[in-house]
């Protein structure tokens, strides 16, 4: 059961983080102009208190919170019980700072209750989460050249839902800084969400030389002096050339450039298909130990784990009469039947570590991505390629930071054609790995896998330094993401 506070999205921001954000905002303001600052979701008032501590006078400070139990954050400030998303845009501020609620459409009835108003007000960016609405609204109530700094969930960086939001930021503001805040920053409050501090200026980004400061995931709140190798400056324009306007943090230009020029996405060189969505796996699927192929059960591949790379015994089966039975089930969806039962590659869809495995002829597959190359050499090449660290890096650090790697993202992996020799080496190694794992589940894969990595790095022309960076990320995904 959520506490009342938690249900309203109340999590207190740690002091060091508040301090850094306050300093960042104040650096952009001129104290002589007596700037007016707003914390639109003040909660326990920690930002207001920190601003006063930093020398702002209460008459310069404004705060809102929708919760009628919120205490007055400080004497003399202008505080009101307000739904920030509904304030009119007439009152303008020089700075907005805070930690807005992070509630998705699914997590809050607020969205249903206010559907029409929100859809109209936020039509530029779409309605997905409270925090993106707060940032957008913040931009509307900022004066030209005003500054905004908010700590929010980091899903806006690559999730496809926020594509229009990212485009809006890139075309209406100068993004100053994106810092991936330490993991478990809100852990004390039991909220384990990955967050980022976004700081932007309301200003048309006409200056082509404007660079965004990007700081990779920090280990602790070392905001002012992060390790050099974790900091990157990129021209803001670079993001406009990335798929879905993704906002990447500390991805070397060498790797970004693979996505930028009119590149060839994987979907152009090999069919990538999803299959059956049963709508009720519990009803339609059986575990391997409960199904026998002689009774008409067909292997069904849906999501391999990290240990299932290259080859694994089917974990699930579906009955050959599925088509007949599915007629009574409205949520059963069939996609791409012309690829059913073909030999191919099956990818994992959920999980920290992405993996790809051999898909034997005669199987069916789920809503995960499956590839159907023309011939066996291509099949084993693509299998090696998909399991390479470079692909894992591109998937999780450029295309989609979440654990859910759906076919839409896999389709966008850049494809660079290997030389015939490179192709045959990878194809051969990858075939060996499949055969090895087919005979012995614990077949050691690391050595050949390393070789495959090396050749893929060669194919993509990755420098020694960046190979190291990619390896480090893949081998510590949990801490680095």
Closer residue to ligand SAM, CB minimum distance, 50 or 355: 50
Q: Does 44 participate in binding ligand SAM (rule CB under 6 A)?
A: yes
Strand partners, 265: 414
Residue 275 is a binding residue for ligand SAM (CB under 6 A): no
Contact segment (CB under 6 A) with ligand SAM among 80-88, 192-200, 360-368, 398-406 equals 80-88
Q: Is 149 in the site for ligand SAM (CB under 6 A)?
A: no
- Coil, strand or helix: which one is 30? coil
Which part of the chain contacts ligand SAM (CB under 6 A), choosing from 59-67, 160-168, 280-288, 404-412?
59-67
Give me the torsion for CA of 48, 50, 53, 55, rounded to 10°: -70
> Is residue 12 within the footprint of ligand SAM (CB under 6 A)?
yes
Q: Is 140 in the site for ligand SAM (CB under 6 A)?
A: no
Q: Which of 382, 433, 380, 430 is CA-nearest to residue 269?
A: 382
* Torsion of Cα atoms, 403 then 408 then 411 then 412, to 10°: -80
Is the Cβ–Cβ distance between 111 and 127 less than 8 Å? yes
Q: Figure out which of the listed residues 20, 64, 381, 393 binds ligand SAM, where binding follows CB under 6 A.
A: 64
Query: Does 456 contact ligand SAM by CB under 6 A?
Result: no
111 binds ligand SAM (CB under 6 A): no
Q: Contacting ligand SAM (CB under 6 A), which of 36, 60, 99, 149?
A: 99
Among 23, 28, 58, 67, binds ligand SAM (CB under 6 A): 67
Q: Select from 43-51, 72-80, 267-275, 422-430 the region that touches ligand SAM (CB under 6 A).
A: 43-51
Measuring CA to CA, which residue among 249, 363, 396 is closest to residue 386?
Answer: 396
Name, in order, each residue with C-beta under 8 angstroms of 311's C-beta and a sequence gap of 6 or more.
357, 358, 433, 434, 437, 438
Asked if 346 touches ligand SAM (CB under 6 A), the answer is no
* CB nearer ligand SAM, residue 138 or residue 304: 138
Q: Which stretch binds ligand SAM (CB under 6 A): 4-12, 192-200, 225-233, 238-246?
A: 4-12
Supply the minimum distance, in Å, between the C-beta of residue 69 and ligand SAM: 9
Burial class (CB within 10 angstroms; exposed 0-12, middle 13-18, buried 19+) of 67: middle
- Check: CB of residue 357 under 8 Å from CB of residue 309: yes
Short-list 131, 140, 126, 9, CA closest to 87: 140
| Three-state secondary structure call for residue 467 | helix
Binding piece for ligand SAM, criterion CB under 6 A, among 77-85, 168-176, 278-286, 320-328: 77-85
For ligand SAM, what does the binding mask look like between residues 289 and 318, x meaning CB under 6 A? ------------------------------
Q: How many residues bind ligand SAM (CB under 6 A)?
A: 24
Q: Is residue 150 packed enough to be buried (19+ CB in 10 Å), middle (13-18) or exposed (0-12)?
A: buried
Q: Is 13 in the site for ligand SAM (CB under 6 A)?
A: yes
Least Å from the CB of residue 56 to ligand SAM: 16
**Cα 98 from Cα 23, distance rounded (Å):** 13
Q: Is 43 in the site for ligand SAM (CB under 6 A)?
A: yes
Q: Does 11 bind ligand SAM (CB under 6 A)?
A: yes
The sheet with strand 195-202 has its strands ordered as 78-81, 61-65, 37-39, 93-98, 142-153, 195-202, 173-180, 211-215, 231-235
What strands lie across the sheet with 364-365, from one edge to the other?
285-287, 316-319, 297-301, 364-365
C-beta closer to ligand SAM: residue 71 or 362: 71
Cα–Cα distance between 271 and 145 in angstroms, integer?
47
Q: Which of 47, 317, 380, 409 binds ligand SAM (CB under 6 A)?
A: 47
Written as six digits, the tokens of 124 are 């530029």
CB neighbours of residue 269 within 10 Å: 15
108 in contact with ligand SAM (CB under 6 A): no
Is 198 an interacting residue with respect to ligand SAM (CB under 6 A)?
A: no
Residue nearest to ligand SAM (CB): 43
Distance CA 476, CA 228 (A): 19
CB of 8 to ligand SAM, least distance (A): 4
Nearer to ligand SAM, 137 or 431 (CB): 137
- 401, 158 contact by CB (below 8 A): yes
CB of 64 to ligand SAM, least distance (A): 5
Q: Which is nearer to ligand SAM, 64 or 415 (CB)?
A: 64
User: Would you count residue 369 as binding ligand SAM (CB under 6 A)?
Assistant: no
- Name the site residues for ligand SAM (rule: CB under 6 A): 8-13, 40-44, 46-47, 64-67, 83-85, 98-101
């Amino acid at each position: 059961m959520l506490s009342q506070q938690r249900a309203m999205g109340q999590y207190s921001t740690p002091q060091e983080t508040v301090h850094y954000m306050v300093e960042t905002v104040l650096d952009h303001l001129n104290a002589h102009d007596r700037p007016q600052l707003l914390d639109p979701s003040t909660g326990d008032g920690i930002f207001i208190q920190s601003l006063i501590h930093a020398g702002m006078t209460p008459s310069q400070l404004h705060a809102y919170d929708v919760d009628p139990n919120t205490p007055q954050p400080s004497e003399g400030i202008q505080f009101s019980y307000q739904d920030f998303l509904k304030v009119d845009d007439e009152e303008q501020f020089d700075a907005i700072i805070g930690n807005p609620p992070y509630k998705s459409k699914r997590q809050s009835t607020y969205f249903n209750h206010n559907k029409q108003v929100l859809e109209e007000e936020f039509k530029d960016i779409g309605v997905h989460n409270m925090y993106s609405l707060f940032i957008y609204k913040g931009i509307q109530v900022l004066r030209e050249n005003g500054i905004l700094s908010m700590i929010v969930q980091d899903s806006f960086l690559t999730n496809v839902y926020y594509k229009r939001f990212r485009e809006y930021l890139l075309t209406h503001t100068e993004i100053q800084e994106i810092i991936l805040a330490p993991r478990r920053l809100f852990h004390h409050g039991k909220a384990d969400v990955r967050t980022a501090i976004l700081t932007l200026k309301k200003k048309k980004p006409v200056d082509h030389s404007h660079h965004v400061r990007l700081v990779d995931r920090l280990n602790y709140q070392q905001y002012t002096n992060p390790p050099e190798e974790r900091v990157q400056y990129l021209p803001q324009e670079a993001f406009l050339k990335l798929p879905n306007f993704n906002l990447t943090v500390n991805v070397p230009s060498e790797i970004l450039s693979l996505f930028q020029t009119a590149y060839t996405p994987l979907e152009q060189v090999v069919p990538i298909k999803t299959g059956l969505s049963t709508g009720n796996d519990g009803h339609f699927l059986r575990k391997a130990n409960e199904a026998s192929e002689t009774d008409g059960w067909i292997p069904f591949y849906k999501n391999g784990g990290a240990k299932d790379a290259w080859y694994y015994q089917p974990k699930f089966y579906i009955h050959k009469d599925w088509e007949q039975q599915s007629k009574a089930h409205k949520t059963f969806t069939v996609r791409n039947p012309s690829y059913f039962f073909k030999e191919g590659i099956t990818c994992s869809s959920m999980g920290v570590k992405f993996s790809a495995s051999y898909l034997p002829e005669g199987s069916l597959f789920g809503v995960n991505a499956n590839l159907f190359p023309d011939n066996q050499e291509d099949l084993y090449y693509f299998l090696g390629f998909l399991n390479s660290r470079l692909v894992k890096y591109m998937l999780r650090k450029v295309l989609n930071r979440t654990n859910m790697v759906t076919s839409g993202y896999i389709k966008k992996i850049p494809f660079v054609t290997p030389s015939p020799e490179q192709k045959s080496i990878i194809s051969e190694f990858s075939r060996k790995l499949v055969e090895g794992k087919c005979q012995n589940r614990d077949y050691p894969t690391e050595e050949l896998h390393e070789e495959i990595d090396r050749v893929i790095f060669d194919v993509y022309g990755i420098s020694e330094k960046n190979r190291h960076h990619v390896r480090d990320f893949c081998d510590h995904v949990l801490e680095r993401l």
